[in-house]
Amino acid sequence: MTDPHAESPASGADLRTGYGVIQDYLKTLDASPGVYRMLDAESRVLYVGKARNLRARVSNYSRPGHSPRIEKMIAQTASMMFLTTRTETEALLLEQNLIKQLKPKYNVLLRDDKSFPNILVGKEHDFPQIKKHRGARKEKGSYFGPFASAGAVNRTLNQLQKAFLLRNCSDSMFDTRSRPCLQYQIKRCSGPCVGLISQADYAESVRDAERFLSGRSTKVQEELAEQMMAASEAMEFERAAALRDRIKALTQVQSAQGINPRGVAEADIIGLHMDSGQACVQVFFIRANQNWGNQDFYPRVSEDVSPAEVMEAFIGQFYDNKDVPRQLILSDDIENADLMCEALGEKAGRKVEIVVPQRGEKTELVASAVRNARESLARRMSESATQAKLLRGIAEAFGLEGPPQRIEVYDNSHIQGTNAVGGMIVMGPEGFMKNAYRKFNIRGEDLVPGDDFGMMKEVLSRRFARLLKEDPDRDKGMWPDLLLIDGGAGQVSAVAEIMAEHGVEDIPMVGVAKGVDRDHGKEEFYRPGERAFALQRNDPVLYFIQRMRDEAHRFAIGTHRAKRAKSMAANPLDDIAGVGATRKKALLTHFGSAKAVSRANLSDLKAVEGISDALAETIYNYFQDR
């Protein structure tokens, strides 16, 4: 890849835009493949595109005759940037990376790009653990996925534990058990922690689970059926009943998956539906001839964008950070199918096929994906219309200039001042913006425990300090149009003081108090310098505000509980210098718990294998000092 050459004839006092600016670049461009960026007068990226021949592609923009969207983009173009590549495939990959990074206004943009969970059968322990895994595959083991949601993984894991009795406890818990846990009692685990199953028999169960997840489910069930019959004939009725339950659990996994195609072993089924300038893409994950769930996505599009362009942009951005299956089965063809296959194959290290079926089972699968996309988009459009009406109601109720595009709602959670956290949730035209949620660990050392005013001051102070640093010009969509604070006049006064200190007094703010009897429907609203007021009990806007406040409360409490659980689970041995994972395991194995270690005398500590006399004294002194 060569160095970028970026020139801007619109720099300095020359603020020309449009066709003339683009024509000036043709003098310096050659026929190399590469990526181009179109920028406005303030150097904001309007569009990112790729080209097999940069000169020919840019030449197309230098002449009239485009769609209204492209004409508007050209009219705003004040400069361009170029990056040449060795191949068109490199250009395609670079284009999608830049689109995701820069989020240009005129590109099709995949907005929800989360990772998907997998099932991991670990291989770093003699008795492997089966668990849900999300993120980079750093841990040694067998990975199966992706699954469309955490719920789909949890349901599958639940049944797999019944079928194969594999443990889901952590290694540290496994190593310190002295008797079977509840999972063994309810027949979800075979009890390897206390020797109730041999390593060889447990390994056989692991192999059966991996075979089932790899698509060889029929073979596994046949073998279990044979074992059940043999146990029954030998009058081992308890064992036969256990095998019957395992077969039943496997059957439930398959029935919960719905569509299980016979002729498609590994593929993503991608269906697209577009309506009124909006689009929904539905993806079904088929692995090992099993349906592992589906997920819908709503890329940002314009009314004059073609299905082929939407589909190509979605594929390029979606698989930028995800594993690519061997086959993509699409509802709509894309313009550069061969190029996309080459790019995805290069990323995956094997051949990737793109198919737009015309008949047979694959056509039925695509039709199902498109139907789901159509129904999902219809629901979303209906919800968006309702949301727009509610936002207009918010503006009217609180005297705003227009419907807010970003509402931030704040709440605190603590128990008598301990493990205090603040939570911020965000509501926008399309509903809750969960990727914009933020949590704040309350750090103020001079705060009195339980000082809600002080906590809210700290949260808002940190929030506005960060906004002023990251988006001082307020042009990145990060600033709120309305603040909702959980509390009455006191909280509102505290927040108003912080806003005045940061010079952001132009943002409307409302405090939401429970009101008389702290009852839903009797909320009172407080604004700086004004009298409190209430809305009609049956007003939809009131329900909307309650829903936002309850979501903020849920998020703050969840964050607080996670922090509290983490502090409760913290092991004091982790803070002792010289005690690593091996020595901690030796201490826990010898004494049974960290509390027992803390109470041990010096001679007992010295008796632990791997603990030197000097380290024993360090451990003993650490707990004595505490």
> Which pLDDT does position 132 carry in this prediction?
92
Q: Is residue 567 part of a domain?
A: no
> Which pLDDT does position 620 carry in this prediction?
86
Distance of alpha carbon 377 from alpha carbon 379, whole angstroms = 5
Strands (E), 303-384: 327-330, 353-355
Same domain, 323 and 412: no
> Which pLDDT does position 5 carry in this prediction?
45
pLDDT greater at residue 187 or residue 443:
187
Residue 495 sits in a domain whose CATH number is 3.30.420.340
Percent helix, strand, coil in the chain (nearest 5)? 45, 20, 35
> Which pLDDT does position 473 carry in this prediction?
85
Which two three-digit tokens encode residue 623?
């707990």
pLDDT digits (tens, 9 = 90+) for 211-230: 878 877 666 777 778 888 88
Q: How many CB atoms lie within 10 A of CB 114?
A: 12
Answer whether residue 256 shows pLDDT above 70: no
What lies within 8 Å, CB to CB, of 172 at 6+ separation is 585, 588
> Which pLDDT does position 415 carry in this prediction?
65
pLDDT digits (tens, 9 = 90+) for 151-172: 888 888 887 888 888 998 888 8
> Among 29-38, 124-133, 259-268, where is mean pLDDT lowest?
259-268
Query: What amino acid is encoded at 357 in this protein?
Result: P
Q: What does the pLDDT average to over 295-303? A: 90
Domain closes at, from 360, 378, 396: 378
DSSP class of residue 109 equals B
> Which pLDDT does position 529 carry in this prediction?
84
pLDDT confidence bin for 15, thresholds 50/70/90: low
Mean pLDDT across the chain:
85
Residue 17 sits in a domain whose CATH number is 3.40.1440.10
Q: What does the pLDDT average to over 269-289? A: 91
pLDDT digits (tens, 9 = 90+) for 370-408: 999 999 999 888 888 899 999 999 999 999 999 999 999
pLDDT digits (tens, 9 = 90+) for 426-464: 999 988 998 899 999 887 666 666 677 788 888 888 999
Distance of alpha carbon 203 from alpha carbon 207, whole angstroms = 6
Answer whether residue 327 shows pLDDT above 60: yes
CB of 254 closer than 8 Å to CB of 290? yes
- Please state the separation of Cα 383 from the chain's center in Å: 22
- Please state the separation of Cα 616 from the chain's center in Å: 44
Same domain, 140 and 273: no
> Which pLDDT does position 490 carry in this prediction?
84
- H-helix or E-strand spanning residue 512: strand 509-513
Q: Is residue 549 part of a domain?
A: yes
pLDDT greater at residue 271 or residue 177:
271
Same domain, 556 and 576: no
Q: What does the pLDDT average to over 270-287? A: 92
Q: Looking at the chain, how many residues does it have? A: 626
Which two three-digit tokens encode residue 377?
């988009």
pLDDT greater at residue 530 or residue 452:
530
Pairing of strands 482-486, 407-415: parallel
pLDDT greater at residue 76 or residue 454:
76
Distance of alpha carbon 587 from alpha carbon 529, whole angstroms = 62
Domain ranges, residue 68? 5-102
Residue matched to tokens 């689109």:
99
Answer whether residue 63 shows pLDDT above 60: yes
> Which pLDDT does position 22 carry in this prediction?
92
SS (H, E, C) 524-543: EEECCCCCCECCCCCCHHHH
> Which pLDDT does position 4 carry in this prediction?
43
Domain count along the chain: 5
> Which pLDDT does position 8 carry in this prediction?
43
Q: Is residue 40 part of a domain?
A: yes
pLDDT confidence bin for 521, thresholds 50/70/90: low
Answer whether residue 247 shows pLDDT above 90: no
> Which pLDDT does position 326 carry in this prediction?
93
Model's pTM, two decimal places? 0.72
What lies within 8 Å, CB to CB, of 560 at 6+ separation is 413, 414, 415, 419, 420, 421
> Which pLDDT does position 9 carry in this prediction?
42
Answer whether residue 109 shows pLDDT above 80: yes
DSSP string, 9-56: TT-TT----SHHHHHHHTTT--S--EEEEEE-TT--EEEEEEESSHHH
Residue 325 sits in a domain whose CATH number is 3.30.420
SS (H, E, C) 205-256: HHHHHHHHHCCCHHHHHHHHHHHHHHHHHCCCHHHHHHHHHHHHHHHHHHHH
> Which pLDDT does position 417 carry in this prediction?
56
Which strand ranges, in their side-by-side order, compose the sheet holding 34-39? 5-7, 79-84, 34-39, 45-51
Give 168-177 contacts, CB < 8 A, sequence gap 24+.
Answer: 168/129, 168/130, 168/131, 169/129, 169/193, 170/129, 171/124, 171/125, 171/129, 172/585, 172/588, 174/125, 174/127, 174/129, 175/585, 175/588, 175/589, 176/588, 176/589, 176/592, 176/593
> Which pLDDT does position 590 carry in this prediction?
83
pLDDT digits (tens, 9 = 90+) for 351-364: 999 999 998 889 99
Distance of alpha carbon 173 from alpha carbon 190, whole angstroms = 15
> Which pLDDT does position 3 carry in this prediction?
45
Q: Is residue 436 part of a domain?
A: yes
Pairing of strands 5-7, 34-39: unpaired
Residues of the chain with pLDDT > 70: what percent?
91
- Please state the separation of Cα 48 from the chain's center in Å: 25
Q: What does the pLDDT average to over 334-356? A: 92
> Which pLDDT does position 445 carry in this prediction?
65
Q: Is residue 447 part of a domain?
A: yes
User: Within 13 Å of residue 434, how many CA atoms lie on the same side as its CB?
Assistant: 6
Distance of alpha carbon 204 from alpha carbon 198, whole angstroms = 10
CB of 407 closer than 8 Å to CB of 394? yes
pLDDT digits (tens, 9 = 90+) for 555-590: 988 887 877 776 655 667 777 888 887 888 888 888
Domain closes at, from 67, 102, 137: 102
Same domain, 92 and 131: no
Sign of the four-CA dihedral 535, 537, 540, 545? positive
User: Within 13 Å of residue 622, how many CA atoms lie on the same side as its CB?
Assistant: 20
Same domain, 276 and 309: yes
> Which pLDDT does position 107 carry in this prediction?
93
Q: Is residue 108 part of a domain?
A: no
Domain closes at, from 503, 531, 560: 560
Same domain, 356 and 301: yes
Find the distance separating the first CA and the last CA of the chain, reported in whole Å. Answer: 59
> Which pLDDT does position 91 carry in this prediction?
92
Same domain, 481 and 506: yes
- Measured in degrees and rounded to the nearest 5, phi and psi for residue 342 equal -65, -45
> Among 76-80, 294-298, 313-317, 515-519, where is mean pLDDT lowest?
515-519
CA angle 371, 376, 381 (to 5 degrees): 130
Q: How many CB atoms lie within 10 A of CB 27?
A: 7
CB of 258 closer than 8 Å to CB of 293? no
Query: What amino acid is encoded at 75 in this protein?
Result: A
Residues of the chain with pLDDT > 90: what percent?
38
Answer whether residue 259 shows pLDDT above 70: no
> Which pLDDT does position 357 carry in this prediction?
94
Distance of alpha carbon 605 from alpha carbon 236, whole angstroms = 48
- H-helix or E-strand spanning residue 119: strand 118-122
> Which pLDDT does position 7 carry in this prediction?
45
Same domain, 252 and 271: no
Same domain, 252 and 273: no
Provide the 3-class DSSP secondary structure of residue 462.
Answer: helix
Q: Is residue 565 part of a domain?
A: no
> Which pLDDT does position 298 carry in this prediction?
92
Q: Is residue 151 part of a domain?
A: yes
Q: What does the pLDDT average to over 317-323? A: 89
pLDDT confidence bin for 312, thresholds 50/70/90: very high
Same domain, 414 and 543: yes
Answer whether residue 543 shows pLDDT above 70: yes
> Which pLDDT does position 158 carry in this prediction?
84
Same domain, 536 and 458: yes
Same domain, 544 and 577: no
